[in-house]
Chain A
């Protein structure tokens, strides 16, 4: 019998409880279906399954608090429903989404970073995840699983090596009306930004770019569109940023164990403010492949679900770079704090009309009123330099001048 286990949505989350079952024994569920709503100290998140399975038994009671990794649903079927050694091995593997198993933790001189997947240590995915989340070193630990593999119970016996304050969440959680604790969310944000400012030598650049063409393109797109299908200028902006990030690899990926590993895909974290109650940063996966209309629908869906609930576990991990838009009623520009282990934070200020000196072909310079926006970059100086940062920003600008090609 396989089990689904209490998932985690951040390194600071060690416990959760089921507040609502969406399934009953005997139900057949498909990949992506929500099986339960999980409440943490900071919010309620939909727990989805990652393959087609049949629900056999609910293993915990509603509102019963349990540790991350605790089996909560017994299931059958799915890709590993077979016999023999492979099945035994699978028993120990929770169906956590691949996105939740990080390539590695951020490098930090003061935190003992667990070595993930070292060739000599066997460790179950659940134990690997917990070890990473709790910044625990598994070397030297005796495993009680098959072939001496380290399993969850081994970790539960071992005392965590790092203190609570040293555990830093990758991302903070989402909120649902009535289901989150602003104090805990503030604490999670505090932990991640403190770690970022302590460990990452940031440098900052900003470029004012012209949005006239983009705005005109969006206006033309919206002219005949009903409100549900209208676009905000943020959509092409995000497309340009995602596409430029893919090309400028030193800004897209993870800095881990003293080494930067670029990501081929751009998984764009998007900071969404919860109207004075903190922020969440869900991820738009493969953002570089999305045209503006699709980007808009994804963004709209994320904002909607950040406010009213329905964000999924898989949407909380994996971001390779993050975008923070201070909003069109906000400030001129924002210089953000990088989410470790990412290496870049892109900021979008408010769009405003500005006088700009134009030099047209051969004519004398004249002043024109143009729609402009500041795009900023906060980047990790261990990985890139200001020169490459300027190239990224100018590439974004260049793409914005051809919105029809995005």
Chain B
């Protein structure tokens, strides 16, 4: 069982991996991080790939709109771990 902080860290690590220059310190956890960090669809897909690998939680394409903010993605993963 992972803590919320651990899961958020996994997501932030994935973001840092895909967009090393993105400033996640200032990231609003309730905002769409694609807007916040200027990520395109390829970046977002690559983040999902990394998060799925790191957590083992499947995120079906149809659920992509449920994981668009740092908080909602963390919630989504928490519920399934």
Contact = CB atoms under 8 A, between A and B. Distances in A.
A232 B42 contact: yes
B38 A227 contact: no
Interface stretch (B5-13, B59-67, B69-77): B59-67
B19 interface: yes
Interface in A121-161: none
Contact of A219 (B21, B34, B48, B61): B61
Nearest to B61: A222
B41 interface: yes
Interface in B11-33: 19-21
A303 B61 contact: no
B40 A329 contact: yes
Contacts of B38: 275, 329
A38 B34 CA distance: 34
B59 A227 contact: yes
Contacts of B21: 275-276
Nearest to A300: B42
Interface in A208-223: 219, 222-223
Interface in A185-223: 219, 222-223
Contacts of A226: 52, 58
A361 to B, nearest CB: 31
Given A226-B52, A275-B19, A275-B21, A327 B40 contact: yes
Contacts of A227: 45, 48-49, 52, 59
Interface residues of B, number: 20
Contact of B34 (A222, A230, A329): A329
Contacts of A223: 60-62
A225 B21 CA distance: 29
A230 B19 contact: no
A276 B20 CA distance: 12
Interface in A296-330: 299-300, 303-304, 327-329
Contacts of B41: 232, 234, 327-328
Contacts of B58: 226
B49, B52, B58 — most chain A CB neighbours (10 Å): B49
B79 interface: no
A235 to B, nearest CB: 11
A405 interface: no
A30 B64 CA distance: 42
Nearest to B18: A307
Interface of B: 19-21, 34-35, 38-42, 45-46, 48-49, 52, 58-62
26 contacts: A177-B20, A222-B61, A223-B61, A223-B62, A225-B61, A226-B58, A227-B45, A227-B49, A227-B52, A228-B49, A230-B45, A230-B61, A232-B41, A234-B42, A275-B38, A276-B21, A299-B42, A303-B42, A327-B40, A327-B41, A328-B40, A328-B41, A329-B34, A329-B35, A329-B39, A329-B40
